Amino acid sequence: MSDRPGGESVAVTRTGTGADPGTDLQIIESLARGELRVAARLISRIESGDPAILPLLAALHARGGKTPLIGITGPPGAGKSTLVDQLIFRYRQQGKRVAVLAVDPSSPFSGGAILGDRIRMNRHSADEDVFIRSMAARGRLGGLAIAAGDALLVLDAMGWDVILIETVGVGQSEIDILRHAHTVVIVQTPAGGDAVQALKAGVLEVGDIFVVNKADAAGADRTVSQLREALSFRSDAQEPESWHAPVLKTQAVEGLGIDELVLSIAAQAEFWRSHPQQRATRRRLQTRLLLIDQIAETLHQRQQAGDRQQRFEQLLDEVLARRCDLHTAASRLLDHAMK
Ligand SMILES: Nc1nc2c(ncn2[C@@H]2O[C@H](COP(=O)(O)OP(=O)(O)O)[C@@H](O)[C@H]2O)c(=O)[nH]1
Ligand SMILES: [Mg+2]
Ligand located closest to 78 CA: 1
**Where among 37, 64, 91 does a domain terminate?**
64
Which residue's C-alpha comes closest to atom 24 of ligand 1? 79
CB atoms within 10 A of CB 220: 21
Please report the pLDDT score of residue 120 as a whole number.
Answer: 57
Q: What is the mean pLDDT of residues 13-17?
A: 46
CATH number at residue 96: 3.40.50.300
User: What does the alpha-carbon distance between residue 32 and residue 178 come to, in Å, rounded to a whole number?
Assistant: 25
How far away, in angstroms, is 243 Cα from ligand 1 center? 28
In this predicted structure, what is the pLDDT of residue 296? Answer: 84
Q: pLDDT tens for residues 162-209?
A: 999 998 876 666 677 788 999 999 999 997 667 677 676 677 888 999
Please indicate, yes or no, whether residues 23 and 74 belong to a single structural domain of this protein.
Answer: no
Of 42, 64, 86, the domain-final residue: 64
Residues 266 and 189 placed together within one structural domain of the fold = yes
The least confident of 96-100, 115-119, 181-185 is: 115-119
Nearest CA, atom 12, ligand 1: 77
Q: The whole model's pTM is what? A: 0.86
Residue ranges making up the domain that contains 212: 65-274
CB 1 within 8 A of CB 279: yes
Pair 132, 215 in one domain: yes
- Residues 165, 209, single domain; the answer is yes
CB proximity list for 235: less than 8 A, separation 6 or greater? 205
225 CA to middle of ligand 2, Å?
A: 25
DSSP H helices, 33-172, are: 36-47, 54-63, 80-93, 112-120, 144-156
The confidence score (pLDDT) of residue 130 equals 92
From residue 74, how far is each of 55, 82, 313 by CA, in Å? 34, 12, 38
Pocket of ligand 1 from Cβ distances under 6 Å: 74, 76-82, 113, 116, 120, 213-214, 216, 251-253
Q: Which residue has the higher pLDDT, 72 or 116?
A: 72
Q: Are residues 205 and 226 in the same domain?
A: yes
Which of residues 238 and 154 earns the better pLDDT score?
154
- Do 29 and 93 sit in the same domain of this protein? no
Highest averaged pLDDT of the listed ranges 71-75, 134-138, 257-261, 296-300: 257-261
Answer yes or no: do 93 and 53 share one domain: no
**The pLDDT of residue 193:** 66
User: Which among 82, 107, 250 is the best mutation to test ligand 1's pocket, defined by most ligand atoms within 8 Å of the CB?
Assistant: 82
- Count structural domains, the chain: 3
Is residue 81 packed enough to be buried (19+ CB in 10 Å), middle (13-18) or exposed (0-12)? buried
Among residues 222, 254, 274, the one where a domain terminates is 274
Residues 156 and 53 in one domain: no
Mean pLDDT of the region 134-159: 81
What DSSP character marks residue 4? P
The predicted pLDDT at position 139 comes to 52
Phi, psi of 323 (to 5 degrees): -85, -15
The Cα–Cα gap between 300 and 143 comes to 10
- What is the CA(218)–ligand 1 centre distance, in A? 15
CB 72 within 8 A of CB 188: no
Same domain? 100 vs 220: yes
Rounded CA gap, 121 and 88, in Å? 9
Judging by beta carbons within 10 Å of its beta carbon (0-12, 13-18, 19+), is residue 226 exposed, middle or buried?
A: buried
Ligand 1 centroid to residue 79 C-alpha, Å: 4
pLDDT tens for 83-93 read 999 999 999 99
Distance 213 CA to ligand 1 centre (A): 8
Helix (H, G, I), strand (E, B) or coil at 177: helix
- Write down the pLDDT at residue 124: 72
Q: Would you place residue 15 in the very low, low, confident or very high pLDDT band (cuts 50, 70, 90)?
A: very low
Residue 84 sits in the same domain as residue 134 = yes
For ligand 1, atom 1: residue with the closest CA:
214
Give the residue, out of 253, 254, 256, with the most ligand 1 atoms within 8 A of its beta carbon, to mutate for a pocket test: 253
The reported pLDDT for the residue numbered 72 is 94
Q: What is the identity of the amino acid at 278?
A: Q
Per-residue pLDDT at 51 exceeds 80:
yes
Between 7 and 276, name the one with better pLDDT: 276
Question: How far from 10 is each of 49, 56, 59, 61, CA to CA, in Å?
Answer: 22, 10, 6, 9
